[in-house]
Structure 1
Amino acid sequence: MHGGCYRIGNGQPYTRKEFIKGKPQPKIAKFQGGKRGEYDYIVQLCSNEKMQIRHMAIESARLSANKTLEQTTGETGYFSVLRIYPHVLLRENKMIATAGADRLQEGMRRAFGKAVSLAARVNQGQVIMEMHVRKEHVEAAKKALAGACVKLPITPTIKVIQAKAS
């Protein structure tokens, strides 16, 4: 299974997990990291295009960003939130790929396939992940999210928003 086959989400997403035996579990360990609190800025990772992102890529990006920022600010110097959830089931109809397989199997039209992975559908401009940081750590958060961009199948943009003063 290649990630390139599942980047573009055409058709209606399939999310009915109750009908599938042996459904895959999301690989995302935590959706929030760091310490909640009052922060000056929110640094967001936003999508530039409509795409499907697999749960393994989301988890990899989250780990990369959190680890980079934690080294700079410490465990209590930031708060990160994942804003997407992998609901969409990705299915694959596996074919026999050995010598002489063309005589054994020609495939089935519109075959259902076996559930192999999960993905999140992301629209253009949608926030994928955000980091809440203090003023002195804004550049470190931008660098951490830039490192997380490498793990994703899209080229997202990084926005810096001043948090509301209360």
Structure 2
Amino acid sequence: MVRAYTRRDYIRKTPNSRIVQYDMGNLTDEFPVSVSLAVKKPAQLRHNSLEAARIASNRLMQRKAGRLGYHLKLRTYPHHIVRENPMATGAGADRVQSGMRNAFGKPVSVEAIVKAGQKVITIDVQKKNFEDAKIALKRAAMKLPVPCRIVVDKGQDLVK
């Protein structure tokens, strides 16, 4: 696994995360059923893939359960800063470049480093919207670059 590169006080010009919100829907009510999306393998999830997963699941839940019928929470934050050593292409690029000499790289993006079994997104819903929450998490999993599984955290006895 990659060693975390997170100390922003030492890094000049750190890139911003594109994630807009971490909590959506009804933030005050208690819901009897809780469903989560967990990753199967350790992975690095970029901020734009986390945002795409959030948008996909939130849009479906808003359509099916209404604005106040669910609580969606993004449970990972992209701390790790990704560096890239830009390589020149085209005619004369070999004279411009120094190859792998001084190849530390410049900050390009941020990503979340997740472990196997870690939960990325959690949706709390009423019993009637359980299937919609599973579909929303399945759509979110399609946006992530790692195999995922859906875990029922709370209310297993209510949904069977």
Q: TM-score, with normalisation over the residues of structure 1?
A: 0.88
In structure 1, stretches of 5+ residues that fail to align are: 1-9
* Matched residue, 1:59: 51
1:38 is aligned to 2:30: yes
Give the whole-Å Cα distance in 1 for the aligned partners of 2:107 and 2:12.
Answer: 9
Runs of 4+ aligned residues of structure 1 deviating over 6 Å after TM superposition are none
* Matched residue, 1:19: 10
In structure 2, stretches of 5+ residues that fail to align are: none
* Greater Cα offset, 109-118 or 121-130: 109-118
Q: Which amino acid aligns with 1:33?
A: M
Residues 39, 163 of structure 1: 8 Å contact kept: no
Residues 14, 89 of structure 1: 8 Å contact kept: yes
* Matched residue, 2:133: 141
State the 1:110 CA deviation. Answer: 5.5
Give the whole-Å Cα distance in 1 for the aligned partners of 2:146 and 2:108.
Answer: 21
Q: CA RMSD in A?
A: 1.5
Q: Which amino acid aligns with 1:17?
A: R
* Matched residue, 2:84: 92
Aligned length: 155
Q: TM-score, with normalisation over the residues of structure 2?
A: 0.91
Identical pairs, percent: 39
Give the whole-Å Cα distance in 2 for the aligned partners of 1:25 and 1:125.
Answer: 27
State the 1:115 CA deviation. Answer: 0.4
Residues 44, 129 of structure 1: 8 Å contact kept: yes
